[in-house]
């Protein structure tokens, strides 16, 4: 049975004192000293830990990739659901409405053997696609058509972008001279209307992960609509469509070939490799967001490639490509080849490796031309003509003036629909509805967690040391929320209070600035136990306040620093921090999402030490980390009696970042779902942001005391 806390006044006093170790995250005066301490921190332990973690999780996903497909029946039973999952991970499930393309030809450029039409259409209202359509002059029947999707080849003069279609024009020219219609379309970022591919790479748009948005989804959708456009053209045989492109265009070739069976032959060039290359070998650091789906279902990339089977697929690459390394490309081919073998179609899959770096070489093109001749025309002629450029960029420009209603530059705001808050009266908060809410989040946002609940894991809680000073007892415990992750839990109590006498334990979950302030405070009392830390500062007054509070009340104070913070901090450079966060996403996780798991493990660890399993646990934190604690409380249920959250973001737009969460929920809805099991106290200046949970608490008699804004 839980022990009650003595009185409201004492509780408020405790929170005011303990918050001294939390509020520094918003104190500007402490920001500089915290940053300085971080800059000089020894992160070797954290670097080694996170490296081991990324290796283990990557191998876990690689080992299971296509492993449960042993027969053709296995494949046929799974492929449709896998394709649906890929649509979802690209932000295309539910499938968007195919609105009118409103296609227009704004002009032409002439060559003796073909005409280039300057084309634009809208893949959805306001989302413009600019392209060049290469049409042979000599034709007596409908022709096969190639969709050529461009890599990152910028063509810009002054303030005018001519689109990467101008850079890759030589491909369109070759196809047109050899009896194909070819549509080359610009990409979102390097088109005539310049959008953004690099949301998480260098624009700090981590809310893309929370929204379930990736620029790869826009490219996939534009390709789908480009096929619609090709099939609308009288010159095109709509049953003989192929796709190719290199680098980024290689990636988009994968998306469209996997998603749309209208593609009858595909040659992705230097556009895919495996998770090992990206996560362990670091290739992710050379790629923008358009190369990756939001990996909700935790795939390795051969699973994308396999969805092309049994249609003709040539995987093409050079042998010295640093961002698509040879071993990863061969691994993709080997796993996909087995799926083609199950279909009895080994002649429909090929691997072409030529010598060279990451470059659009003539050798790569020749094999692609041969593949399409074989499977779209049933021919195998000698490749005699070279792929050369015939036009100046100005001749291929579609828009003389950019449309004022374009959404290209802001499409990340609307491409994936965000969930709206339900009506307060429709939120039941029954045990069944809360369980369903947890399950939905578990499947769509936290699928990267270990399969077992924290309460079922072997956390390997071990006592690291005990110390006493000034009437206060300090214990430090190690715990392992995952086999590769070891965290430290610090617990303070009065030396006169035994663990079983504690009336509650407040677990403070802190960020980097909180770690800095914790060290200043704790070193004032336990210097010998923290001599190895970089900082030499101490805050004697803060220590006296904490010690005085603990000696006057039978309470415990605990501190947990989730992975990547404090004792387990890894490389603090902005670049490495960014790329590690992107690695988490490639593994179907987020850094913040795994920190929720760490806090759940910390709550469970508190109940495993010193016969304190019945001691009420309160959680306390600040800023985005307060959001981490909120979700930990949701999943821990009655194990968390109360949350005291300072400056909790009102939306996941501002953090914490969890995969897809904004597609299904937002912070105010989660606050409401926590109220039946945990009291929530928000320390805020803007109460208007929290009217939703407030209205729910006001409507339900049992929740009136469960929600408070201070």
Phi, psi of 39 (to 5 degrees): -65, -30
Domain range for 703: 14-60+434-709
Q: Which residues contact 290 (CB under 8 A, 6 or more apart)?
A: 187, 188, 189, 197, 214, 215, 216, 218, 219, 248, 251, 252
Summarize pLDDT for 335-345 with one digit per residue, the tens.
999 999 999 99
Edge-to-edge order in the sheet of strand 263-269: 104-110, 114-124, 127-136, 181-185, 143-149, 236-246, 263-269, 313-318, 349-354
- What is the pLDDT confidence band of residue 384, given thresholds at 50, 70 and 90? confident
Q: Are residues 124 and 222 in the same domain?
A: yes
Give the separation between CA 536 and CA 515, rounded to whole angstroms. Answer: 13
Residue 654, Cβ density class (10 Å: 0-12 exposed, 13-18 middle, ≥19 buried): middle
Inform me whether the pLDDT recorded for 7 exceeds 90. no
Q: Are residues 482 and 363 in the same domain?
A: no
- What pLDDT does 592 receive? 98
Q: Does residue 2 fall inside a structural domain? A: no
**Mean pLDDT, rounded, for 1-17:** 40
The number of folded domains in the chain is: 2
637-652 as b/e, with b when 16 or more CB fall inside 10 Å? eebbbbbbbbbbbbbb
Q: pTM here?
A: 0.94
Summarize pLDDT for 137-152 with one digit per residue, the tens.
999 999 999 999 999 9
Q: Are residues 36 and 92 in the same domain?
A: no
- What is the pLDDT confidence band of residue 174, given thresholds at 50, 70 and 90? very high
Q: Does residue 642 fall inside a structural domain? A: yes
What is the rounded (10 degree) CA torsion for 533, 534, 538, 542? Answer: -60
Q: Are residues 175 and 33 in the same domain?
A: no
Inform me whether the pLDDT recorded for 2 exceeds 80. no
Q: Does residue 339 fall inside a structural domain? A: yes
DSSP string, 142-211: -EEEEEEE--S---EETTEE--HHHHTHHHHHHHHHTT-EEEEE--TTTSSS---S-HHHHS--THHHHH
Residue 223, domain CATH: 3.40.50.1820
Q: Are residues 47 and 94 in the same domain?
A: no
- What is the pLDDT confidence band of residue 41, given thresholds at 50, 70 and 90? low
Spatial CA neighbour of 198 closest among 666, 578, 591, 562: 578
3-state secondary structure of 627: helix
- What pLDDT does 499 receive? 86
Q: Are residues 53 and 191 in the same domain?
A: no
**Mean pLDDT, rounded, for 251-273:** 97
Domain boundary pick from 369, 393, 408: 408
Q: Are residues 170 and 309 in the same domain?
A: yes
Q: Does residue 496 fall inside a structural domain? A: yes
Q: Are residues 394 and 463 in the same domain?
A: no
566 near 512, Cβ under 8 Å? yes
At 18, which helix (H) or strand (E)?
A: helix 8-18
Domain boundary pick from 374, 408, 442: 408
| Preceding omega of 94 cis (within 30 degrees of 0) | yes
Q: Are residues 138 and 30 in the same domain?
A: no
3-state secondary structure of 245: strand
> What's the Cα-to-Cα distance from 34 to each of 488, 510, 540, 582, 655, rounded to whole Å?
20, 13, 18, 24, 21
Q: Are residues 688 and 624 in the same domain?
A: yes
Q: Does residue 9 fall inside a structural domain? A: no
**Mean pLDDT, rounded, for 545-562:** 94
- What pLDDT does 35 receive? 41
Q: Are residues 222 and 129 in the same domain?
A: yes
Q: What is the mean pLDDT of the chain?
A: 92
- What pLDDT does 534 receive? 67
**Mean pLDDT, rounded, for 253-258:** 98
Quote the DSSP letter at residue 598.
H
Domain boundary pick from 374, 390, 408: 408
Q: Does residue 416 fall inside a structural domain? A: no
Summarize pLDDT for 54-101 with one digit per residue, the tens.
999 999 999 999 999 999 999 999 999 999 999 999 999 999 999 999
Q: Does residue 235 fall inside a structural domain? A: yes
3-state secondary structure of 505: strand
Q: Are residues 196 and 287 in the same domain?
A: yes
């Amino acid at each position: 049975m839980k022990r009650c806390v003595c009185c409201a006044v004492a509780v408020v006093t405790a929170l005011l004192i303990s918050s001294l170790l939390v509020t520094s995250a918003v104190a500007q005066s402490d920001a500089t000293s915290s940053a300085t301490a971080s800059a000089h921190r020894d992160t070797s332990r954290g670097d080694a830990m996170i490296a081991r973690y990324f290796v283990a999780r990557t191998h876990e996903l690689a080992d299971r990739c296509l492993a449960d497909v042993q027969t053709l029946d296995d494949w046929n039973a799974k492929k449709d659901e896998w394709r649906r999952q890929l649509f979802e991970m690209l932000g295309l499930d539910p499938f968007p409405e195919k609105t009118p393309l409103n296609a227009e030809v704004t002009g032409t450029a002439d060559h003796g053997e073909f005409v280039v039409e300057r084309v634009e259409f809208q893949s959805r209202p306001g989302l413009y696609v600019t392209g060049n359509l290469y049409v042979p002059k000599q034709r007596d029947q409908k022709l096969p058509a190639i969709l050529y999707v461009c890599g990152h080849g910028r063509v810009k003069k002054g303030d005018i972008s001519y689109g990467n279609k101008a850079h890759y024009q030589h491909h369109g020219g070759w196809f047109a001279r050899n009896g194909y219609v070819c549509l080359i379309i610009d990409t979102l970022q390097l088109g005539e209307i310049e959008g953004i591919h690099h949301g998480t790479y260098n624009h700090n748009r981590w809310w893309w992960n929370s929204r379930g948005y990736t620029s790869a989804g826009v490219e996939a959708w534009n390709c789908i609509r480009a096929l619609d456009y090709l099939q609308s053209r009288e010159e095109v045989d709509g049953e003989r469509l192929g796709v190719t492109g290199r680098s980024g265009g290689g990636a988009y070739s994968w998306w469209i070939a996997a998603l749309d069976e209208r593609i009858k032959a595909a040659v992705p060039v230097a556009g895919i490799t495996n998770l090992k290359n990206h996560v362990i070998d670091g290739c992710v650091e050379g790629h923008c967001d358009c190369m990756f789906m939001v990996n909700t279902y935790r795939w390795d990339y051969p699973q994308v490639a396999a969805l092309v089977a049994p249609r003709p697929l040539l995987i093409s690459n050079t042998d010295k490509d640093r961002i698509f390394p040879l071993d990863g490309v061969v691994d993709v081919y080997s796993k996909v080849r087995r799926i083609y073998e199950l279909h009895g179609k080994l002649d429909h899959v090929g691997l072409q490796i030529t010598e060279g770096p990451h470059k659009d070489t003539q050798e790569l093109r020749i094999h692609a031309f041969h593949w399409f001749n074989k499977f779209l025309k049933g021919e195998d002629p000698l490749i005699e003509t070279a792929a050369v450029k015939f036009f100046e960029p100005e001749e291929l420009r579609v828009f003389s003036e950019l449309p004022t209603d374009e959404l290209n530059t802001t499409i990340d705001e609307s491409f994936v629909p965000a969930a709206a808050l339900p009506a307060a009266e429709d939120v039941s908060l029954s045990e069944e509805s809360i369980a369903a809410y947890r399950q939905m989040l578990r499947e769509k946002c936290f699928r990267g967690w270990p399969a077992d609940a924290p309460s079922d894991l072997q956390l390997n809680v071990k006592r690291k040391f005990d110390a006493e000073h000034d009437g206060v007892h300090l214990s430090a415990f190690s715990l392992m929320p995952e086999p590769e992750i070891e965290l430290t839990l610090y617990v303070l109590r009065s030396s006169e209070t035994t663990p079983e006498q504690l009336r509650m334990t407040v677990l403070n979950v802190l960020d980097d600035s909180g770690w800095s302030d914790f060290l200043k405070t704790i070193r004032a009392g336990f210097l010998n136990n923290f001599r190895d830390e970089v900082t030499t500062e101490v805050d004697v007054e803060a220590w006296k306040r904490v010690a005085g509070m603990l000696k006057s009340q039978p309470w415990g104070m605990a501190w947990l620093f989730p992975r990547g913070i404090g004792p387990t901090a890894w490389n603090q450079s902005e670049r490495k921090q960014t790329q590690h966060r992107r690695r988490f996403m490639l593994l179907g996780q987020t850094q913040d999402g795994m920190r929720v798991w760490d806090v759940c493990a910390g709550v469970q660890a508190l109940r495993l030490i010193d016969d304190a399993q019945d001691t009420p646990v309160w959680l306390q934190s600040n800023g985005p980390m307060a959001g981490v604690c909120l979700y930990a409380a949701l999943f821990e249920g009655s194990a968390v009696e109360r949350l005291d959250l300072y400056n909790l973001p009102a939306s996941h737009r501002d953090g914490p970042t969890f995969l897809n969460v904004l597609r299904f929920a937002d912070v105010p809805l989660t606050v409401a779902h926590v109220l039946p099991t945990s009291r929530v106290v928000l320390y805020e200046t803007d109460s208007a942001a929290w009217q939703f949970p407030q209205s729910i608490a006001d409507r339900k008699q049992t929740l009136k005391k469960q929600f408070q804004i201070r």
